[in-house]
Structure 1
Amino acid sequence: MPISVSRILQQRPKIPFEIKGIKTFRRFWHALCRPILEMFCMQFVEEVMQSALVHPLSEKAHLPVVDETNIDAFLIPGSGEPANAVLFFTGDPKQRPQADDVAVVLPQLLQAFSGRLRGALIGRAAEEKLKSRFNVVAMPSLVVTRREHPVGVLGNICDWSEYIEKISVWLSPDAPVMVAPGGPKAGIVRPGREIKR
């Protein structure tokens, strides 16, 4: 949430600009400085909480954090890399506590499918832009892809056996890719013009 000093000033009583004595200083501190400092601290805590999942995974499991600018480069496998990848859409950890559970499971899945699957974290700012492309409906989600095409999505937390079963099927070279969301489009053709809906 962006910090708005004008909003704080509107909510707090007017203060004199001439500070004389300790009582006036205390009023000044409680009216203006303390709320601004508290907002800065709250914003810092929110940023740390949002990255509490991403940082350990990217550091310990060596998972890259991708966004809309570099996702395509990540999905194209390098020499000797598997064509399949798993993308972790975390969602807001404060609203979606299951993200912690999925963050624990993801490194284990990468180890279980070692050599067949590589992983990446979707940056929080890019999640909204990328979720429709990868058919993500619920957060947190793991999306299994073959190159740039999604082949399956696992929303929220699942049983270990479900992860293993579904990902094994999706890693098959003949597994069908998912179709982008959107229903059939109707078109009306009239002489001289075409109307699409």
Structure 2
Amino acid sequence: MSAPQHPLVTRLTAEMGYPVLTDWAALESFAEAPGAHVVFVPGEAARNLETPDVAIILPELHIAFQRAFDCAVAGDEIETRLREETRVLKTPSLIFFRDGVFVGGIARVRDWDDYIARIPRILAAQPTAHEEEA
């Protein structure tokens, strides 16, 4: 990641081992692995006060969903293209893939119950539509 990140975003990669996806090939490799995957798109933490909140929430969601998906962090180098191609334009966001195909996204910080309701729908979605969960 080229821009300095919030310490809570750095914690995801440095302490929790989430990969940082800095080029499109890394994103494709991550997303194309069998199963479900989520890419955290932090946006610019200095301007977006919700970024640290989602950085705290993501590991908790990972546990709550019994590690049903792998997690990674989008680097600055791919963030714009990833947001444009998935049409999940607002940050921070969680962008979900299954077996290499985009299946949905959740933009901005949400209430816990909202995540608990939306994520199963996203994980069960047919991987054809580009939809942002607003």
Do Structure 1 and Structure 2 share a fold, with TM-score over 0.5? yes
Q: Does 1:55 align with 2:5?
A: no
Pairing of 1:105-144 with structure 2 (within 5 A):
105-144=57-96
CA deviation digits over 1:7-54, x for unaligned, max 9? xxxxxxxxxxxxxxxxxxxxxxxxxxxxxxxxxxxxxxx944x25343
Question: Distance between the aligned counterparts of 1:178 and 1:104, measured in 2?
Answer: 30
Q: TM-score normalised to the size of structure 2?
A: 0.85
Aligned to 2:104: 152
Aligned equivalents of 2:7, 2:32: Cα separation in 1: 28
- Alignment RMSD: 2.0
* Identity rate, percent: 28
In 2, the alpha carbon distance for the partners of 1:56 and 1:145 equals 23
Largest Rg, 1 or 2: 1
Residues 50, 92 of structure 2: 8 Å contact kept: yes
Instruction: Quickly say closer, same or farther: Cα 1:179–1:92, change in 2 above 3 A.
Output: same
CA distance in 2, matches of 1:97, 1:119: 21
Instruction: Give TM-score, length-normalised by structure 1.
Output: 0.60
Structure with the greater relative contact order (CA < 8 A, sep ≥ 6): 1 or 2? 2
More strand by share: 2
In the alignment, structure 2 segments of 5+ residues that lack a partner are none
CA drift of 1:103 comes to: 0.3
> Alpha-carbon deviation of 1:153?
1.1
1:101–1:74 Cα change, 3 Å? same
Gaps of 5+ in 1: 1-45, 182-197
Aligned to 1:73: 29
